Amino acid sequence: MAQKLWEKSVQVNEEIDRFTVGKDRELDLYLAKHDVLGSMAHITMLESIGLLSADELQVLLAELKNIYASAERGEFVIEDGIEDVHSQVELMLTRKLGDVGKKIHSGRSRNDQVLVDLKLFTREQLKQIAEAVEDLFHVLISQSNKYKDVLMPGYTHLQIAMPSSFGLWFGAYAESLVDDMMFLQAAYKMCNRNPLGSAAGYGSSFPLDREMTTRLLGFDSMNYNVVYAQMGRGKMERNVAFALASIAGTISKMAFDACMFSSQNFGFVKLPDECTTGSSIMPHKKNPDVFELTRAKCNKLQSLPQQIMMIMNNLPSGYFRDLQIIKEVFLPAFEELKDCLRMSAYIMDKIKVNEHILDDDKYLYIFSVEEVNRLAAEGMPFRDAYKKVGLDIEAGKFTHNKQVHHTHAGSIGNLCNDKIVGLMEEISKGFNFSAVEQAEKSLLGR
C-alpha cells in the first residue's frame, strides 16, 4: 500500500483505508484537471512570495501542464493505494522531478484544495448547463413562433377550461427556463469565489497572496474569511443543486405534458418515431420512453438539494469527513441534467403538432368565457352574462365560432416572445464566462 500524504510511522489498516477512501478514487477523476489548475495558480503565487525559485516554478508548471493534458485526454488515473487526486498529482510530480515536487503543498491543505477543485469543476459544469438550457430555450421559442396561431385546449383540474395555443405552450416552458437561468446565475456567482489560501480552514503563517490566486484562476472575488471558506463546503453544492433542481422541475413538467399530449386520448402532438420505443407483445406501440426517463431523472435531480442538506446539516464549523459523501451525489448530477436537456431539445425540435384539435366539438365549451366576455363587452352585466351562458350550456344551446381575439401582453395574440428572448440574453451576458476562459487560457499558456 502506498503511503498517504499524512502518514508518519504507523500505516493505516487496509479495511479502514477502503472505508475512508470510499469512492474518491473514482469520483476525483472528475476533478483531476481542476486540481492541476489550482496547483498551477498556487505555485505561481508561492514563487512570488519566495517559497519557490523561478527555475523550480518553471519545471513544475511544465510538468503540471503535461498532467493537465493527460486529464483532458481522459488518460489520468489514480493508482491503487493512492488516496485521492491531490496525492496522485503530487506523486507524479515527485517521481518526475524529485524533491521539488514535494514543495507544492506549502501553505495549503487538502481541505482548501478540494474546495477550489470543486469550485473550478462546478463553474465549468454550470457553463455547460447554461449553454444546454439556452439551446432548449431557442428551440422552444422557435416552435412557439411557428405555431403561435394553432389553438389547443387549456386545462385546469385536468378539465377543459379555456382556449390556449401551442404558441403559449412552447413559450411558457421557454420563459420558465429564463427564471431557471436567473437562479443558475446566482449559483454560479456564489460558486465563483476563491477559497484557496484558507488551508485547513484557519489560514497559514506563510504570507500567501490570495488576491493573486484569485486573479490567476479567474474568480470574481475570494471567500475572504478563512473559516467561512471552509464552511462553504457543502453550502456551495447545496445552492447549485437548488439551481439544477429548478431546471429539472421545468423539464419534468414539460416531459409529462409531452407524454400526455402524445397519447391517443389527447392526440395533440406526435413525437418523432426515432424517439419512441416499441412493445415486445403489442405491435402498434410507440412509447414515449425518452420523456418518461427524462421525467424520472429530473424528479430524482429535484431531490439532490435535500440529499446534500441531510449530509451537511447540523455540522459545526470546521472540516468533517461527512462532506466527502456529497461528491457521490453531486458530481454525476451535471451530466445527467445535460443529457436530459439535450434529449429534450432534440425531441421538442422535431415534435409534430396537431393543427385541428378544436375541430372536435367536445372542446366547444372552452369558448364559454369568450362568449361571457363578448356579452359583457356589449353592456350586459358580467354576472348576468355568466348565468346566461351557463344556462345555454345546460340546455345544449351553446355555440361559438371557435375564434379568439386576445391582444393583451402575454396572451395568445401577443406572446411577447421578443421580450422573453431579451430577458434570456441579458441573463446570459451576466455570467461573464469569457473572463474565466481568458484567465484559464493565460494560466495554461494557451
**Residue 296 neighbours by CB distance under 10 Å:** 13
In terms of DSSP bridges, do strands 151-156 and 159-165 run parallel, antiparallel, or are they unpaired? antiparallel
How far does the chain reach from its first CA to its final CA, in angstroms?
A: 38
d(CA 68, CA 63): 9
Is residue 8 pLDDT above 70, yes or no? no
Contact between residue 417 and residue 141 where contact means Cβ atoms under 8 Å apart = yes
Using 50, 70 and 90 to split pLDDT, how confident is the model at 12?
low
Is residue 3 pLDDT above 60, yes or no? no
* 69 phi, psi to nearest 5 deg: -65, -40
- With the CA atoms of 266, 268, 274 and 279 taken in that order, what torsion angle do they form, in degrees rounded to the nearest 10? 10
d(CA 277, CA 120): 39
pLDDT single digits (tens) 365-413: 999 999 999 999 999 999 999 999 999 999 999 999 999 999 999 999 9
* 38 phi, psi to nearest 5 deg: -60, -40
d(CA 299, CA 207): 47
**For position 273, what pLDDT does the model report?**
86
Residue with the bigger pLDDT between 21 and 296: it is 296
* 240 phi, psi to nearest 5 deg: -65, -40
**For position 17, what pLDDT does the model report?**
73
**Residue 214 neighbours by CB distance under 10 Å:** 22
**For position 341, what pLDDT does the model report?**
98
Using 50, 70 and 90 to split pLDDT, how confident is the model at 6?
very low
Question: What one-letter code names the amino acid at 187?
Answer: A
Which H or E element spans position 165? strand 159-165
Domains annotated for the chain, with CATH where assigned, are 12-100 (1.10.275.10), 108-205+222-358+408-442 (1.20.200.10), 364-393 (no CATH)
In terms of DSSP bridges, do strands 269-270 and 352-353 run parallel, antiparallel, or are they unpaired? antiparallel
Using left for φ > 0, alpha for ψ between -120 and 50, and beta otherwise, residue 78 falls in beta
CA distances from 93 to 9, 294, 337, 417 (A): 23, 43, 35, 54
Q: Which of 14-23, 52-61, 297-306, 403-412 has the lowest mean pLDDT?
A: 14-23
**For position 83, what pLDDT does the model report?**
83
**For position 232, what pLDDT does the model report?**
92
* Nearest partner of 348 among 297, 294, 277, 298, judged by Cα: 294
Report the pLDDT averaged over residues 246-268: 96
d(CA 22, CA 25): 8
The answer to pTM > 0.85 is yes
Under 8 Å CB-to-CB from 173, ≥6 apart: which residues? Answer: 140, 250, 253, 254
Q: Which of 80-89, 291-300, 410-419 has the lowest mean pLDDT?
A: 80-89
Average pLDDT over the chain reads 93
pLDDT single digits (tens) 316-352: 888 888 888 999 999 999 999 999 999 999 999 999 9
**For position 305, what pLDDT does the model report?**
97
**For position 278, what pLDDT does the model report?**
77
> What percent of the chain lies above the pLDDT cut of 70?
97
Q: Which of 19-28, 67-76, 102-111, 430-439 has the lowest mean pLDDT?
A: 19-28
**For position 318, what pLDDT does the model report?**
85
**For position 22, what pLDDT does the model report?**
72
CA distances from 434 to 33, 178, 324 (A): 19, 21, 31
pLDDT single digits (tens) 139-194: 999 999 999 999 999 999 999 999 999 999 999 999 999 999 999 999 999 999 99
Using 50, 70 and 90 to split pLDDT, how confident is the model at 1?
very low
Cell of 23: 469512492
Using 50, 70 and 90 to split pLDDT, how confident is the model at 213?
very high
Report the pLDDT averaged over residues 286-304: 94
Using 50, 70 and 90 to split pLDDT, how confident is the model at 10?
low
pLDDT single digits (tens) 355-370: 999 999 999 999 999 9
**Residue 415 neighbours by CB distance under 10 Å:** 23
Three-state secondary-structure class, residue 76: coil
d(CA 152, CA 115): 50
Is residue 59 pLDDT above 90, yes or no? yes
**Residue 172 neighbours by CB distance under 10 Å:** 19
CA distances from 35 to 41, 113, 114, 115, 361 (A): 10, 7, 8, 10, 64
